[in-house]
A and B are shown apart, each in its own frame.
Chain A
Amino acid sequence: MIDTRINRRSVLAGGLATAGLAALVGCTPAQSSETRTLQFWHLLSGGDGITMQGMLDRVNASRSDFRVRPTVLAWGAPYYTKLAMAGAGGRAPELAVMHSSRVPGYVPGGLLDPWDVDLLRELGVDESTFTDPVWNASVVDGELYSVALDAHPFIALFNRDICDEAGVLDSSGQLMRPDSPDGFLDMCREIAGVTGERALSYGFIGDGQQMWRLFYTLYCQHGTQMEFPPGGNIEVDEDAFIASLEFMHELSDGEIASQRGTIDSAVAEFAAQRTGIHFTGVWELPPMQDAGVPVGATMIPNIFGTEAVYADSHSFVLPHQMNPDEQARSDTYSVVAELLKGSLAWAGAGHIPAYLPITEDEGYSDLTPQSDYAEAADYLVYDPVAWFTGSGSNFVLQFGQIVGSAITSGSGYDEALEDFRSYVNGLLAQPNPANPQGDLS
């Protein structure tokens, strides 16, 4: 009795499973024989994701021989873990998006395949179609490992109405660009006089990434950049390091900017038009426009003497494939070229398209306030090159741990510098975990 019941069930279950399997097997070849599918991983969500999907739709509509299938993953450490594992397995997606600053850490482990520069040139993509900082950030050990889609710098958004009332706009309606720390603080006090609250929205509390973005902008404005030589010691300008932290403390005094601003509260504050300036990434521009803020945008004023804009780039990379399919590779190249040529749409999301023919185009100069900060592309600074740096890395989080209390308390700068130095030197002495047996690079 029991036996028969079990049999009937197992027969039923087995039948269903077989039918399901047959259905699966049946549908796969049909699809792949007609149009080839290109797997594309990216980390662009929200407004960025919608824009990217639109660009992909246009590429897909123009081609019948292949179809790009995007997989969207949440950005941050988990994305890079997944991408690394895919590359390690050698059966990675054909194409992926990475932050340029993370590329150097990936290359020594053999997780990425280099781009064929000649093939790209045939498609109209070469060194001359990018600014120097963008191109240089794409080259690792003399090979091109990433093709930048954009640069997304850390900039200053401003509220035109509030800043106009405070008299801090120039004749062309742009935010004035004071050339000294005190000049900037004075300008902020004018704005605070109008808002009756604070002048500047800048969220940083407990957020190493946000602290690093502004800090490194200010640090590089001193005309210097940090060097992280593998196996050696950090090269850091002590005066620039401390002056940058001091200025960040002066900003977050509770009157110019909040002493406890988080990235969320800063967005909320500026969107509610309670402040005149917002230090943030370009990606916050569209949400502010949607919120009805009369928003302008400009580079963070050059207050320490040298123009510098901290940025990162979304870049196309070829995750390592053990046996790359030649046809798929060549499809991938044409997808990237077409995406670059269609990246005017990408500018709508706030980013500066990396492909120069786009930013030199009239369509782009008509796009304001995006074109107001296009100049930033010439002054970009990326993270110091090392295996441990880059967006979403432990390094930026740890930076926040090290300098956080110095910024809020206005003391202990020397200790912060020493802690930072020994932290970085410790990392420099370790091999890249993506390649533990390699030399220290």
Chain B
Amino acid sequence: MTDLMAERTADGSQAQAGPDRKASGAAPPTRRQASRRGQLVAWAFLAPFMVAFVLFVIWPLIHGIYLSMTDQSLTGAGGSFIGFENYSEALADPVVWTSIGNTVWFTLITTVPLVVVALVMALLVNTGLPGQWLWRLSFFMPFLLASTVISQIWVWIFNPDIGAANDILATFGIEPVAWLQTANLDLISIAIATIWWTVGFNFLLYLAALQNIPDLQYEAAAIDGAGRWRQVFSITLPQLGPVTGVILILQMLASLKLFDQAYQMMDGGSSETSRPIVQYIFEAGFVGYRFGYASAISYIFFVLILIVGLFQVIVLSRRKGKS
């Protein structure tokens, strides 16, 4: 399987290298001119994006580093250079660390179910349940909702006094729970809502991948005497390897950015056990007006993500190397 992948990427890179080689090889001057003009046209097409990219991504990135070393206030006051003071304050600020902890914990408790539940849903639908379109639609629908909408829905479901979640618990004789108002449980409740909201997207990716597995592999396996479960474990799951990798990465990135639904479900308030780091940056900068300090926290978070990202790349490439 991995060999197949390697071949495919090798093919891909060859295909890319192809025209280049031709162009730089025995190309007459006119062609070179043409390619230079082609490059110009390419840059012209790229320019609008590049301008926006530099203006709204690269420049803020650089300016943010400067901001993080000032006592700039959102109100325009301050702005004098104070070196690494913000950084030392942030590193010693317990809320920074609990917020980062919350974000990481949220990433862990959402990523796994978002992969497993999506996979199970896709497998079920793919086995040929009657009314496939209905399942597809209802699994995917929540994903189409805005974060504001799902937050409102779940705030009511989780209402400790009159919410549906506690009604369901009550039918099993379980005492009511203050879902969003209990320390530690609040983030789990947000995670439940998030899983319900976004699992549909992963489900769709898995379903597409499942439908891409050629039938003849299953036929061959059946001829070899493999049962249904054997086929799932020996064909289906391994074939889903690449898409699982994609989902994992997308999911981790989405979860680390947690803000919208947490902010809205907690109604702008926050608790020590549910405040994600992005919300703390928002609170420091936009509620507390401390832009310099907020910038410093975001760069600390940025570095942490960078370390995780590098770690991921190293692990992935080592695994590839082994196989």
Give the B-binding residues of A (Cβ under 8 A).
76-78, 80-81, 84-85, 87-89, 109-111, 205-209, 258, 260-262, 264-265, 268-269, 393-394, 397, 400-401, 404-405, 433-438
Partner of B271, one of A78, A88, A401: A401
Chain B residues touching A, majority SS: loop
- Point out the residues of chain B lying under 8 angstroms from A81, CB to CB: 74, 286-287, 289
- Point out the residues of chain A lying under 8 angstroms from B266, CB to CB: 206
Instruction: Scan residues 76-94 of chain B and give those whose CB is less than 8 A from a CB of chain A.
Output: 76-78, 80
Selected A-B contacts with CB under 8 Å, 30 pairs: A76-B268, A78-B286, A81-B289, A85-B74, A88-B74, A88-B75, A89-B76, A111-B75, A205-B160, A206-B178, A206-B180, A207-B269, A260-B160, A261-B161, A262-B161, A262-B181, A264-B155, A264-B156, A265-B161, A269-B161, A397-B269, A404-B181, A433-B288, A435-B78, A436-B73, A436-B77, A436-B78, A437-B71, A437-B77, A437-B80
> B162 at the A/B interface (Cβ < 8 Å)?
yes
Give the A-binding residues of B (Cβ under 8 A).
71, 73-78, 80, 155-156, 159-162, 176, 178, 180-181, 183, 186, 266-272, 283, 286-290
Contact in complex: A260, B287 (CB < 8 Å): no
- Point out the residues of chain B lying under 8 angstroms from A265, CB to CB: 159-162
Contact in complex: B78, A437 (CB < 8 Å): yes
- How far, in Å, is A273 (CB) from chain B's closest CB? 14
Q: How far is the CA of A85 from the CA of B288 in the complex (A)?
A: 12
Q: How far is the CA of A400 from the CA of B269 in the complex (A)?
A: 9
- Point out the residues of chain A lying under 8 angstroms from B289, CB to CB: 81, 84, 433-434
- Point out the residues of chain A lying under 8 angstroms from B76, CB to CB: 88-89, 109
Q: How far is the CA of A403 from the CA of B162 in the complex (A)?
A: 24
- How far, in Å, is B84 (CB) from chain A's closest CB? 17
Q: How far is the CA of A13 from the CA of B73 in the complex (A)?
A: 41
- Point out the residues of chain B lying under 8 angstroms from A261, CB to CB: 160-161
Q: 10 tightest CB-CB pairs across the interface, nearest first?
A: A206-B181, A88-B76, A265-B161, A260-B160, A436-B78, A433-B289, A205-B181, A88-B75, A77-B287, A109-B75
- How far, in Å, is B278 (CB) from chain A's closest CB? 15
User: With A81-B286, A205-B178, A205-B181 in contact, is A435–B160 under 8 Å at CB?
Assistant: no
Residue of A nearest to B177 (CB): A260
Residue of A nearest to B269 (CB): A397
Q: How far is the CA of A397 from the CA of B280 in the complex (A)?
A: 13
Contact in complex: A206, B73 (CB < 8 Å): no
Q: How far is the CA of A9 from the CA of B78 in the complex (A)?
A: 48
- Point out the residues of chain A lying under 8 angstroms from B272, CB to CB: 401
Partner of B73, one of A207, A260, A393, A433: A433
Partner of B178, one of A77, A84, A88, A260: A260
Contact in complex: A435, B271 (CB < 8 Å): no
- Point out the residues of chain B lying under 8 angstroms from A438, CB to CB: 77
- Point out the residues of chain B lying under 8 angstroms from A405, CB to CB: 183
